[in-house]
Structure 1
């Protein structure tokens, strides 16, 4: 099996490195290209055997599975370039949420999947959201999910829930990291504890909490209940957060969905132009 990557920016390079480090793919099985070709060449230097091509067209023609890892408004250009060389037996994988299955199916004849990865895949953990077109057969889904299972947990979701699923699994690490950083900053300012020590404590806490919520059998609600003794310090802290942060998460979801809808409209205009009234 040969796997191509059109785009080796942040997420494209993370996937390539994770697939190689996990043993899912050998460098010799990967063909990569990037608009700034030096980025792809640096990966080839790091992983000898990885093949770099100057064009997406060549990368697609050499691959059984093609990951398109470019910005949403660049998809139309990429698809126009590769449509003459891709065929019905290949799987094309989009990793961006605003580009819809129907956008892709309207241009290329191959099987279509959307996979929304997460930065957590870099450490071979977290979810990979999988959305499939009707062209994908059961064996195609199994092939792709077997590949993804080396770098995390492939989870099938409906395209209508792409945005909220992405908020939770893909944007979530950044949102959680922001909360932890604010927790660290406040601790340092209020008590004088060193930032290094506070960061270590918070990082170990986050790791342990993740294990409790996965293999430990806790839910977020049951974990709070277990830790917060009525009238105790944790309960008082939770009360403050409920009072101060209650509406933040509603605003967060509204904002991400509004941005998503705006991005979908831009993609629609890019794909269909004057056909949109």
Structure 2
């Protein structure tokens, strides 16, 4: 996600290469690839980066956020704005670990195609100019939605996690077509992917709701209506289970982070 954020800002010309500095805990890999693509980006230690940058994205796993913030905090500029992309690390915890301005940002893979919704929660210390700067940057590759922190886990299922969840659903849909026909897997996937793209365009460009789309396709008593009825009978339990298990996982991560904070 760090690669995606920086790459999109550079592609959209919101920033120049000489405005970007990166620090990584794991030499090689994506960091080296990124610097090859953008040779004027500097690579620095966390302390050097904190000393020079006003806006800092912390892109590490939840359990590592405290350590990363502690490492840079003594070196931060007075007006520094820290943005954490980690799930389950709260504004309250970030405030506890640093006196700087802090925000949470939940990115989504779909931002790679300039679509999707970025979720943002700002801490009470964040100046309006810094809120505006961050949101203008993020808006260059998708929508930005300010959200109550209490809702961020459930909302993340609909934004950040949704590409994976949607892929899981339609993987099963395509496999069912293969099991119930002589279609090859590649054919089923091709048909379904193009249908997904077209449906997305209808929903966005024609501003149709899911229900309106169904009504346009499904004739009462017809084949599509029969399939839709089957989904409506079975899907609620499945999706309730999705939220039950994912929200439980968020709580488990929060407990792990809290234990490390003691």
Q: Classify the TM-score, shorter chain.
A: over 0.9
Deviating above 3 A after TM superposition, structure 1's stretches of 4 or more consecutive aligned residues are: none
Q: Out of 72, 75, 80, which is 1:82 matched to?
A: 72
Q: Out of 132, 137, 140, which is 1:142 matched to?
A: 132
1:46 aligns with 2:37: yes
Q: How far apart are the structure 2 equivalents of 1:166 and 1:244?
A: 23
CA contact (8 A) 1:86 1:109 kept: no
- Give the TM-score of the pair, scaled to structure 1: 0.89
Q: Which runs of 5+ in 1 are unaligned?
A: 1-10
Q: How far apart are the structure 2 equivalents of 1:29 and 1:125?
A: 25
Partner of 1:71: 61
1:60 aligns with 2:50: yes
Partner of 1:157: 147
Q: How far apart are the structure 1 equivalents of 2:215 and 2:101?
A: 46
Partner of 1:248: 238
Partner of 1:4: none
Partner of 2:172: 182
1:216 aligns with 2:206: yes
CA contact (8 A) 1:22 1:124 kept: no
What is the SS of the residue equivalent to 1:115?
A: strand
Compute the displacement of 1:27 (Å). 2.4
Compute the displacement of 1:248 (Å). 0.6
1:262 aligns with 2:252: yes
Q: Out of 34, 58, 83, which is 1:93 matched to?
A: 83
Number of residue equivalences? 261
Q: Out of 83, 93, 102, which is 1:103 matched to?
A: 93
Q: How far apart are the structure 2 equivalents of 1:230 and 1:189?
A: 27
Q: How far apart are the structure 2 equivalents of 1:57 and 1:197?
A: 52
> Could you report, residue by residue, the CA deviation over 1:131-159 in whole angstroms, capped at 9, with x for unpaired residues?
00111122211111110011111110010
Q: How far apart are the structure 1 equivalents of 2:178 and 2:17?
A: 44
- Give the TM-score of the pair, scaled to structure 2: 0.94
Q: How far apart are the structure 2 equivalents of 1:61 and 1:204?
A: 48
Partner of 2:21: 31
Q: How far apart are the structure 1 equivalents of 2:118 and 2:50?
A: 22
Compute the displacement of 1:235 (Å). 0.4
> Could you report, residue by residue, the CA deviation over 1:12-60 in whole angstroms, capped at 9, with x for unpaired residues?
112222222232223222111111121312210122212112x222222
Partner of 1:130: 120
Q: How far apart are the structure 2 equivalents of 1:62 and 1:191?
A: 61
> Could you report, residue by residue, the CA deviation over 1:209-248 in whole angstroms, capped at 9, with x for unpaired residues?
2222223211122222222111111101111112232301
CA contact (8 A) 1:17 1:122 kept: no
Q: Structure 1 residues 63 and 50, CA, compared in 2 at 3 Å: closer, same or farther?
A: same
Q: CA RMSD in A?
A: 1.5
